[in-house]
Structure 1
Amino acid sequence: MKRIVIKVGSAVLREGSALAVERLNNLVDLIAKLKKEKGLEVILVSSGAVAAGNTALNLDKTQILNRQALAAIGQPLLMKHYKKRFREHDLKCAQMLLVEEDFDSRKRSLNAKGVMEILLSNDIIPILNENDVIANKELLFGDNDQLAAHAAHFFDADLLTILSDVDGLYDSNPHENPEAKMRKIVNHIEEDELQMKHTPNSEFATGGIVTKLKAANFLLKRDRKMYLTSGFDLTNAYDFLLDENHKSGTLFKNA
């Protein structure tokens, strides 16, 4: 592997009414190791702007304009934490805010690719998020799982890793069935799985397991791989990404 995209969700970066700084720190440590020990180019897709904004201002998050306002407050707070932590590893990061149209328009997608290549070639870690502060609903992906999948494809990454509040895909709901077994390798996603109801586990999240399946399906159709594992405990992420040892988590890949 040469280039990977890592996506971290709001549920991972939020703890109570505060930003989960320790988890953010652990994520930065992982990325630093991937860059320095494996020589990987890493693109980070980070949720958490709305959650970070809510630590400064408590608004009704069911209202779209309120969520946009919280994102406006939270995005610089989030970047402040990332910049501080990456600096401790002698690494620099940059912010890229995108919407769905950036990947649909040939001119805009070429511009985004050009900027991405400049950042990566200069050893900068791009941090992507949806530009949901000013964009209307029609221009947004709606969740960062889809943004991450598109980024992995359009920026020619070898793998998308999603760090989530779930540690993989199971054959049934592990919260309801203690006998549920993890599906470690998935080559195909059934249509009924893609049509399930979205069930985000956090009031700050916009996705759930279905949005992750849709992201995986998007990449499988384009012969790219996706790995889903926990963002709370990065042990499995270290095993898979750093040591190339697939002990746990779900790898979506074509047979």
Structure 2
Amino acid sequence: MKRIVFKVGSSVLTNRDEVAKERMLNLVSLIAEARKKYEVILVSSGAVASGYTALKLDRKKAVSKRVLASVGQPILMHSYKNKFDIFGVDIAQILLTEEDFDSRVHTKIFQDIIDSALENGILPIVNENDISTTSDQLFGDNDQLSAHVAHYTNADILIILSDIKGYYDDNPKKNPDAKLLKEVNEIKESDLNQAHSPNNEFATGGIVTKLKAANYIMGKGRSMFLCSGFDLSAARDFLFTDNREEGTLFIKK
């Protein structure tokens, strides 16, 4: 059975000052369906944004972000549990930092936990532990985290569900004639060095962090699919059919 990693961003999971319940339910439904065919790991953002639904702090301050994350983690996981219960899916929360990938001991621990969870029919939900760690211990965005999770858990494909439909040959917000690229085999260094441009105040990445994740994945001989998390039809087509109109597949040739 192939193993896949889904990564979903804050912009998909939250809407203004509340959890986007319908979008989360759609995501949960897709994952429940995918689990019939694949082993699935979920890397989920949204803790800080979820915390902000209960407590209005300035997330630009490091301590405030940590407080929001600590408040938001249980809110986020409670929302997931309520929805996965509908489909009879048990979940486990796993919090990681960049250091967990730099230590053979730490890496083996989370690999074994994830493997065991999957063997027992449990869905691992991974997020970055930004509550009690320093900035140099963090990836800083879950695109990078999900790429490392995909590699170190030996996943076949990383699927990033975002607020964009895929990767374009130009900025679609500035150029209405920009074309969606269905497949990318190489990423230019200049594209990797662009300024970050998150579309949501609680997002930490933008297209650049997704390109860096794709570049890392391709460098490890794996592939990544980038598509919309608002309309999951592209992800569903990619997973279950041979027809795909939207989304971008990053794959080395």
TM over 0.5: yes
Kindly indicate whether the alpha-carbon contact (under 8 Å) linking 1:189 and 1:217 is maintained by their aligned counterparts in 2. yes
Distance in 2 separating the partners of 1:117 and 1:143: 24
How many Å apart are 1:242 and its aligned residue? 2.1
Hey, what's the Cα distance between the residues in 2 that align with 1:63 and 1:14? 20
| 2:158 is aligned with 1:176 | no
Q: How does 1:34-73 map to 2 (within 5 A)?
A: 34-36=34-36, 38=37, 40-73=38-71
The equivalent of 1:229 in structure 2 is 227
Normalised to the residue count of structure 2, the TM-score between the two structures is 0.99
Aligned partners of 2:60 and 2:200: how far apart in 1? 12
Distance in 2, matches of 1:103 and 1:245, equals 36
2:195 aligned residue (184, 194, 197): 197
Aligned runs of 1:13-32 on 2, under 5 Å?
13-32=13-32
Mark the runs of 5 or more structure 1 residues left unpaired by the alignment: none
- Whether the aligned pair in 2 keeps the contact of 1:240 and 1:247 (CA below 8 Å) is no
Please identify, of 243-252 and 171-180, the stretch whose mean Cα deviation from structure 2 is larger: 243-252
Match of 1:132 in 2: 130
Q: CA deviation at 1:14?
A: 1.2
Match of 2:183? 185
Deviation string, structure 1 residues 152-200 (Cα, Å, up to 9, x no partner): 0000000000000011000000011111001110000010000000000
Question: Aligned partners of 1:189 and 1:68: how far apart in 2?
Answer: 34
Shift of 1:201: 0.6
Q: CA RMSD in A?
A: 0.8
Instruction: Rate the CA distance shift 1:162–1:62 in 2: closer, same or farther, 3 A.
Output: same
Q: Name the amino acid aligned to 2:192.
A: L
After the TM superposition, which segments of 4 or more aligned residues of structure 1 sit over 4 Å from their partners? none
- CA contact under 8 A between 1:28 and 1:85: conserved in structure 2? yes
- Aligned residue for 1:213, secondary structure, equals helix
Which residue in the other structure is 2:33 paired with? 33
CA 1:244 to 1:43, structure 2 compared with 1: closer, same or farther past 3 Å?
farther
1:249 and 2:252 are equivalent in the alignment: no
Which whole-Å CA distance do the structure 2 matches of 1:93 and 1:41 have between them? 13
Deviation sequence 1:112-135 (CA, Å, 0-9, x none): 111111001001000000000111
| In 2, Cα distance between equivalents of 1:205 and 1:92 | 27
**Contact kept? 1:51, 1:204, Cα under 8 Å:** yes
Specify which of 161, 164, 177 is matched with residue 163 of structure 1: 161
Deviation at 1:55, TM superposition (A): 0.5
Q: Using the alignment, how far apart are the partners of 2:242 and 2:133 within structure 1?
A: 39
Q: Separation in 2 of the partners of 1:64 and 1:188?
A: 35
Contact 1:14 1:48 in 2 (8 A): yes
Matches of 2:243 and 2:140, distance apart in 1? 33
Aligned to 1:75: 73
TM-score, normalised relative to structure 1: 0.98
Aligned length: 253
Deviations 1:34-70 (A, max 9, x none): 112x2x1110000000010000000011111101100
Bigger shift: 82-91 or 240-249?
240-249
The alpha-carbon deviation at position 244 of structure 1 amounts to 3.8
> Which deviations, in whole Å up to 9, do the C-alpha atoms of 1:102-153 show, x marking residues without a partner?
0110110011111111001001000000000111100000000000000000
Which one-letter code corresponds to 1:100 in the other structure? E
Query: Which ranges of structure 2 fall in alignment gaps of 5 or more residues?
Result: none
Residue of structure 2 equivalent to 1:5: 5
Deviates more, 1:234-243 or 1:160-169: 234-243
